[in-house]
């Protein structure tokens, strides 16, 4: 079973974390919400408090198949300034594991120069943080191990793309159909 770690810092965008988490779980992934500071309770940018499954100190890098960075403020800034988070991202990149970031969070990957020369999506006001990436204008981009998305409004498409790259196009279509309004 594929293990997906979703990193949560105070001020994360709730939909950008929980919609992909829900969809991935439906696809059969072992989804683990990871609190990156303090205890397990993490309050998002709109005041919803989520109880994470583990803290970043408990994260087992060797179990990771995919790392997801939701956007939101100040969540993105807190993730990008956390040495443990940056170390986890570097580990995932060095092992060729999927790294997904949405909204402002691709700016972390841009700052780390991981998106240099790659196609990427990012919330428009953060595009300058990806100066060496190719911002395509698509809502969701997949380039090698990186999946990036523009923002909260494409949380479902972001989740479906994660399912597609991890479990295949048919699995993504099956989940899409199962959650579609009739």
How much is the pLDDT for 181? 75
CATH number, domain with residue 68: 3.40.50.880
**Alpha-carbon gap, residue 114 to 133, rounded angstroms:** 9
Structure tokens at 57: 């100190």
Tell whether 111 is covered by a domain. Answer: no
pTM above 0.95, yes or no: yes
Quick check: is 78 in a domain?
A: yes
User: Domain range spanning residue 62?
Assistant: 3-102+155-179
Confidence of residue 51 (pLDDT cuts 50, 70, 90): very high
CB 9 within 8 A of CB 45: no
pLDDT per position as a tens digit, 15-24: 999 999 999 9
What residues act catalytically? 103
With b for 16 or more beta-carbon neighbours within 10 A and e for fewer, the 163-173 pattern comes to: bbbbbeeebbe
Asked whether 97 and 117 are in contact (CB, 8 A), the reply is no
What three-state secondary structure class fits 76? helix
Q: What is the CA radius of gyration of the chain?
A: 15
Number of domains in the chain: 1
- List of residues 6+ apart from 28 with CB closer than 8 A: 1, 2, 167
Task: Give domain status of residue 144, yes or no.
Answer: no
In a domain, 42, yes or no: yes
10 within a domain of the structure (yes/no): yes
* Residue 124 lies inside a defined structural domain of this protein: no
**What pLDDT is stored for residue 91 in this prediction?**
98
CA distance 81 to 108: 9
CA distance 180 to 178: 6
Could you tell me if residue 97 is inside a domain? yes
Q: Per-residue pLDDT tens for 78-103?
A: 999 999 999 999 999 999 999 999 99
* Residue 149 belongs to a domain: no
Q: Which two tokens stand for residue 167?
A: 């479990």
pLDDT in tens, 124-174: 999 999 999 999 999 999 999 999 999 999 999 999 999 999 999 999 999
């Amino acid at each position: 079973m594929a293990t997906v770690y979703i990193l949560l810092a105070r001020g994360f965008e709730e939909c950008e974390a929980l919609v992909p988490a829900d969809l991935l779980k439906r696809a059969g992934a072992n989804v683990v919400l990871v609190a990156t500071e303090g205890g397990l309770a993490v309050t998002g940018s709109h005041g919803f408090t989520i109880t994470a499954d583990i803290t970043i100190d408990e994260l087992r890098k060797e179990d990771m198949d995919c790392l997801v960075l939701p956007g939101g403020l100040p969540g993105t800034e807190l993730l990008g300034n956390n040495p443990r988070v940056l170390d986890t991202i570097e580990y995932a990149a060095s092992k060729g594991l999927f790294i997904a970031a949405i909204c402002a969070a691709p700016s972390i990957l841009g700052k780390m120069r991981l998106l240099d020369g790659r196609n990427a999506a990012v919330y428009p006001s953060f595009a300058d943080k990806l100066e060496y990436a190719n911002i395509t204008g698509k809502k969701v981009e997949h380039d090698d191990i990186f999946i990036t998305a523009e923002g909260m409004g494409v949380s479902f498409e972001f989740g479906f793309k994660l399912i597609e790259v991890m479990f295949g196009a048919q699995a993504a279509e099956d989940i899409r159909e199962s959650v579609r309004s009739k």
